[in-house]
Amino acid sequence: MRPHRTRLAPSPTGALHLGNARTFLVNFLLARQEGWEVLMRVEDLDGPRIRRGATEGMLEELAWLGLTWEGPVIFQSHRAAAYEAALRRLVEAGAAYPCTCSRKDVEQSAAAPHAEDGAVAYPGTCRGRFVSAEQAAATGRPVAWRVRVNEEPIEFTDELAGPQRINLARAGGDFVVFKQVEQAAYQLAVVVDDAAAGVDRIVRGDDLLDSAARQILLRGLLDIQGEVRYWHLPLVVGPDGRRLAKRHGDTRLAHYRSAGATPRRILGLLGYWSGLLDRRREADLAELQPAFDIHRLPRGPVVFSQADEEFLLGQ
């Protein structure tokens, strides 16, 4: 019987920062504890935002920390044919429709309700508007494809966040599966890739809980068999409570590495954030692996503090 599989899935739209590294570390440690295979997938579909050299840098930094994976690296940019085949299935099933609405159109629509997270939900403007993609293209506007959702909640149990009941109609509405640049969107690409690779164990940040519901819907529409289990981790945030980002200063692994931080120092902080160490101190994978217990993971966001910064910089 083949072992369960998970994946590390960095995106080269930016450098790896401490929040990314903590998620990847927890994923890796849980996989090694449970005997899962770990795959590496580079999510490099967002062409205009991809930084030159970012892919090589991310893979090298993960290896520098000691994280390893099985098999060759999978690149989403090489899998266009698989995404196009999945889109055809959705269109033929009547589950997807062409849409000419821009993001600005959606934001300005007086009819657009607000999603549960405060974002504007798609109001369904193009539902039933066009009989074909050609008719939509005749408007002279770029054509995307959206999947219909309804008011019936998607229910699943997350291994960390617990039972979930997500109404996609209220959490953003009909969502894009192919972009206006004739490129697969995140939700569809992830589902197709996970199914093709046999990935059935997914560990990532809890900002993607709604995405799990969309991906469960897509798996059903594409008739993908097999159960997927999810672990959505509370995020690393700045002192303002917002997800760790540039606004909180330079939190890239490359920044601390160039300042002299060793893998042991970075792993020690990540282990502390993950409930594996009782204080900030240096550690390595050989210590963290036997100590790993997913139930010790903090159930709320981890705040990146001044004390964390000083520890990394050896101050």
Q: Does the structure show a pLDDT above 70 at 230? A: yes
Q: Residue 295: which of 162, 203, 202, 160 has the closest Cα?
A: 160
Query: DSSP string of 173-195?
Result: SSEEEE-TTS-B-HHHHHHHHHH
Give 116's pLDDT tier (boundaries 50, 70, 90): very low
CA distance linking residue 108 with residue 184, whole number of Å? 25
* Per-residue model confidence as pLDDT tens digits over 121-177: 899 999 999 988 899 999 999 999 999 999 999 999 999 999 999 999 999 999 999
Mean pLDDT of 272-291: 97
SS3 state at 196? helix
Q: Does the structure show a pLDDT above 80 at 109? A: no
Domains and CATH numbers, the chain: 5-78+234-312 (3.40.50.620), 80-189 (3.90.800.10)
Structure tokens at 209: 């809980």
- The pLDDT value given to residue 239: 87
pTM of the model: 0.93
CA distance linking residue 172 with residue 219, whole number of Å? 19
| 302 neighbors 22 (Cβ within 8 angstroms) | yes
185 or 108, higher pLDDT = 185
Residues 6+ away with beta carbon under 8 Å from 244: 17, 18, 19, 235, 236, 237, 238, 251, 304
Buried b (16+ CB within 10 A) or exposed e, 21-50: bbbbbbbbbbbbeeebbbbbbbbbbbeeeb
Give 120's pLDDT tier (boundaries 50, 70, 90): confident
- The pLDDT value given to residue 61: 96
* Per-residue model confidence as pLDDT tens digits over 9-22: 999 877 799 999 99
Structure tokens at 165: 């009941």
